């Protein structure tokens, strides 16, 4: 409960203002969803805390004293501002609004966020996006992000996760110049003998080259002369230098 001067509570001051404005304890009790004795007790408690009589009571009427009139004059704007502050949150309840801070690995931007962002902004005109692309496992709470996108199962154990896309199929691709010089691999194991472009996370680990052959998962440890931390750069360089690349 919010404490006001001399220990007076917000409930007591609200009861006083309502009684004086409606000129009735019964009507005030109805509006406040309380019993008339309870409202009378709250106003009496307020008077005792302040050490001054605020309301003149008779069997036929209720009227503020001079002290009550002055208090009402000062309290009404305060209570109006308080109510306005509470109602200002309605806009967030009625429709999504504000800034959405999101962290995601660079491949997420290349593969699906780039096409999803325009649709999202069109659907939610009151939301602004603040996107940070990094392959590091950013602490979402410490860095004050609202959410994060992770590849596969690279998430902290205490985080709540939901799937945002279907599985992204990966293919092995190479330039015509590379195929003409080195030939095409027939099986995933053949990649061991090829010059592959590897993508490295900021943690130092490499993006794995995984395949599914006859319902069996297989991971090939490839080698190559070029290591990058950007899928976009890897794809562009693969076209130019003719190396092998595993990409979506």
pLDDT digits (tens, 9 = 90+) for 110-119: 777 888 889 9
Q: Could you tell me which residues come within 8 angstroms of residue 44 by beta carbon, excluding any fewer than 6 positions away?
A: none
Average pLDDT, the chain: 81
Considering the four listed CATH numbers 3.30.930.10, 3.40.50.1110, 1.10.10.10, 3.40.50.720, the one that applies to the domain covering 5-88 is 1.10.10.10
Name the β-bridge partners of 227: 198
Binned at pLDDT 50, 70 and 90, residue 101 comes out as: very high
For the domain made up of 93-148, give the CATH fold.
Answer: D-Maltodextrin-Binding Protein; domain 2 (3.40.190)
- Answer yes or no: is pLDDT of 3 > 70: no
**What's the average model confidence in pLDDT over 45-60?**
88
CB atoms within 10 A of CB 104: 22
Can you tell me the distance from the alpha carbon of 89 to that of 81, in angstroms, rounded to the nearest whole number? 13
> According to the model, what pLDDT value does residue 2 have?
38
Q: What is the pLDDT of residue 30?
A: 92
d(CA 110, CA 104): 11
Higher pLDDT, 156 or 114: 114
pTM: 0.48
3-state secondary structure of 9: strand
Distance, C-alpha 142 to centroid of its chain:
13
In Å, how far from its chain's centre is CA 17?
39
Pick the CATH number of 171-247 from 3.90.660.10, 3.30.70.580, 3.40.190.290, 1.10.10.10: 3.40.190.290
* pLDDT at residue 1, rounded to an integer: 35
In whole angstroms, give the CA distance from residue 103 to residue 94: 26
């Amino acid at each position: 409960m919010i404490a006001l001067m001399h220990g007076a509570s917000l409930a007591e001051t609200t009861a006083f203002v309502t009684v004086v404005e409606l000129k009735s304890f019964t009507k005030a009790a109805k509006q406040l969803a309380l019993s008339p004795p309870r409202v009378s007790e709250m106003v009496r408690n307020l008077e005792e805390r302040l050490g001054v009589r605020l309301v003149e009571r008779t069997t036929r009427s209720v009227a503020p004293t001079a002290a009550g009139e002055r208090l009402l004059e000062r309290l009404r704007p305060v209570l109006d501002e308080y109510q306005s502050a509470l109602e200002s949150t309605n806009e967030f309840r009625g429709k999504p609004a504000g800034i959405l801070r999101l962290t995601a690995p660079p491949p997420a931007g290349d593969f699906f966020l780039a096409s999803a962002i325009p649709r999202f902004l069109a659907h939610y005109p009151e939301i602004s996006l603040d996107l940070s692309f990094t392959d590091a496992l950013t602490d979402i709470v410490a860095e004050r992000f609202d959410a994060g996108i992770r590849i596969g199962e690279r998430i902290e154990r205490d985080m709540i996760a939901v799937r945002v896309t279907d599985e992204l199929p990966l293919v092995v691709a190479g330039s015509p110049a590379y195929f003409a010089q080195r030939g095409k691999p027939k099986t995933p194991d053949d990649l061991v003998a090829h010059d592959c472009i590897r993508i490295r996370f900021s943690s130092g680990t490499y993006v794995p080259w995984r395949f599914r052959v006859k319902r069996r998962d297989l991971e090939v440890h490839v080698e190559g002369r070029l290591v990058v931390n950007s899928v976009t750069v890897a794809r562009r360089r693969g076209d130019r230098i003719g190396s092998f690349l595993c990409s979506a």
